[in-house]
Amino acid sequence: MFKNAFANLQKVGKSLMLPVSVLPIAGILLGVGSANFSWLPAVVSHVMAEAGGSVFANMPLIFAIGVALGFTNNDGVSALAAVVAYGIMVKTMAVVAPLVLHLPAEEIAAKHLADTGVLGGIISGAIAAYMFNRFYRIKLPEYLGFFAGKRFVPIISGLAAIFTGVVLSFVWPPIGTAIQAFSQWAAYQNPVVAFGIYGFIERCLVPFGLHHIWNVPFQMQIGEYTNAAGQVFHGDIPRYMAGDPTAGMLSGGFLFKMYGLPAAAIAIWHSAKPEKPRKSGRYHDFRRADLVFDGYYRAYRVLLHVRGADPVHYSRDSGRSGIPDLYPAGDA
Across 109-123, 136-150, 157-171, the highest mean pLDDT is recorded for: 157-171
Higher model confidence: residue 304 or residue 209? 209
**Tens digit of each residue's pLDDT (9 = 90 or more) over 56-66:** 889 899 999 99
Query: Which residues have C-beta within 8 Å of that of residue 246, sequence separation ≥ 6?
Result: 187, 188, 223, 225, 239, 332
What does pTM read for this prediction? 0.75
Q: Where are the domains of the chain?
A: 2-188, 190-332
Residue-wise pLDDT for 150-180, tens only, equals: 999 999 999 999 999 999 999 998 888 888 8
pLDDT over 80 (residue 234): yes
User: What pLDDT does residue 111 have?
Assistant: 77
Residue 278 or 186, more confident: 186
Name the residue with higher pLDDT: 21 or 286.
21
Q: Is the model more confident about 79 or about 303?
A: 79
Contact 250, 268 (CB under 8 A): no
39 Cβ neighbours under 8 A, 6+ residues apart: none
Q: Worst-scoring range by mean pLDDT, 116-130, 224-238, 264-278, 302-316?
A: 302-316
Which residues have C-beta within 8 Å of that of residue 95, sequence separation ≥ 6? none
Specify the pLDDT at position 214.
77
Average pLDDT over residues 209-234: 78
User: In sequence order, what are the residues at sequence separation of 6 or more whose Cβ sits closer than 8 angstroms to the Cβ of residue 277?
Assistant: 269
pLDDT in the model for residue 200 = 78
